[in-house]
Amino acid sequence: MSGLTLLPAVDVQSGQAVQLVQGRSGSAQVFGDPVAAAQRWRDEGAEWLHLVDLDAAFGHGSNAQVTARIVAEVDLKVELSGGIRDQASLERALESGCQRVNLGTAALEYPAWCAQAIAQWPEQVAISLDVKHGRLAGRGWTSLGGPLEETVARLDQAGCRRYVVTDVASDGTLSGPNLELLAQVCRQTEAKVTASGGIASLDDLIHLSELSESGLDAAIVGTALYVGAFTLAQAQAVLGPGS
C-alpha cells in the first residue's frame, strides 16, 4: 500500500486550537493551546503540520503571533493557510519559515496575481480548492466562486503543482471524505492532491490511499485525531512508509 503523508491540523481562532463544523461560525470545538497541540502531533510522530489562521481567513483578525511561534518553535514542516491574499502577506508567510503556503480566496478573486505567485514559488505555493454546493468557496467559505473544473484548468495552465481539496460539507463532521470529488480532481490534473475534510476512521485513510496512483499523496486530519477516533501512530501503521 502506498503511504500518504498525514498532516495533523491546527486551526487557530482567537488564540485557541479549534475545529469548525462545515466552516460555520459559532460551531467551534475548542481544544486549547495551539502550540501544545502542534507539539503533541510532533511528539506522536508527525512530520508535517497543516496550520490555519481562521481569523485571518474570515477577515476579522489575526493569529500571526501564534502561528509564527509554532513555525519557529515546533520542529515540523508547516503548511500555512489563512488570509494570504496579496504579495505582502505571501512574503510574510514564506519568511516565517514554513515550507508551503495555501492560497484559497486569492485563487478566486485575484487570478493574475495567483498565477504570478505560482510562477515565482512553484514548490512552495499550493492552491486550496474548497468546494461548497459544487462551486468553489472563499473568504472562510462564506462566499461562492466559479466552477471547479474551470478553475483547475486555469490553475493547471498557470503551473500549479499541488491542490488541497476540501469538501466543505464534510469538514469537521466525521462523515467520511468525499472520494468522488477527490477522484474528479485527480482525473483532471497531473498536479499532486491533498485530501481534506471528513476523515473519521482508519478505513477512510485506506480508501484515500487507493487514489495514490491517481496523484493523491497526502491527507489533512483534524477532528478525528482530537477526539481520539484513532491515533497518529495507528494511522501511520496502517498506511506504511511515507505517512
What tens digit of pLDDT does each residue of 52-61 get? 999 998 888 9
Mean pLDDT of 144-165: 90
Mean pLDDT of 4-16: 96
Q: Is the confidence at residue 25, as pLDDT, over 80?
A: no
Q: Which fold is adopted by the domain 5-239?
A: TIM Barrel (3.20.20)
Query: Which residue among the candidates 11, 167, 171, 217 is catalytic per the annotation?
Result: 11
For position 142, what pLDDT does the model report?
42
Distance (Å) of CA 100 to CA 25, 63, 84, 133, 155: 26, 18, 12, 28, 17
List of E strands, 155-202: 162-167, 192-196
Query: Which residue among the candidates 53, 55, 130, 204 is catalytic per the annotation?
Result: 130
Cβ contact 163:193 at 8 Å: yes
- Position with higher pLDDT, 194 vs 135: 194
List of E strands, the chain: 5-13, 16-19, 29-30, 48-53, 77-81, 100-103, 125-132, 135-138, 143-147, 162-167, 192-196, 216-221
Q: Is the confidence at residue 30, as pLDDT, over 80?
A: yes
Residue 62's pLDDT band, with cuts at 50, 70 and 90, is: very high
CA distance linking residue 235 with residue 34, whole number of Å: 22
Q: Is the confidence at residue 145, as pLDDT, over 90?
A: no
Is 130 in the active site? yes
**Average pLDDT in the chain:** 91
Q: pLDDT by residue (tens digit) across 90-124?
A: 999 999 999 999 998 788 888 999 999 999 999 99
pTM, entire model:
0.92
Is 11 in the active site? yes
Kindly list the domain boundaries of the chain, sorted by start residue.
5-239
For position 138, what pLDDT does the model report?
65
Q: pLDDT by residue (tens digit) across 161-209?
A: 999 999 888 877 788 999 999 999 999 999 999 999 999 999 999 999 9
Which residues, 6+ apart, have CB-to-CB distance to 102 below 8 Å?
79, 80, 81, 84, 126, 127, 128, 164
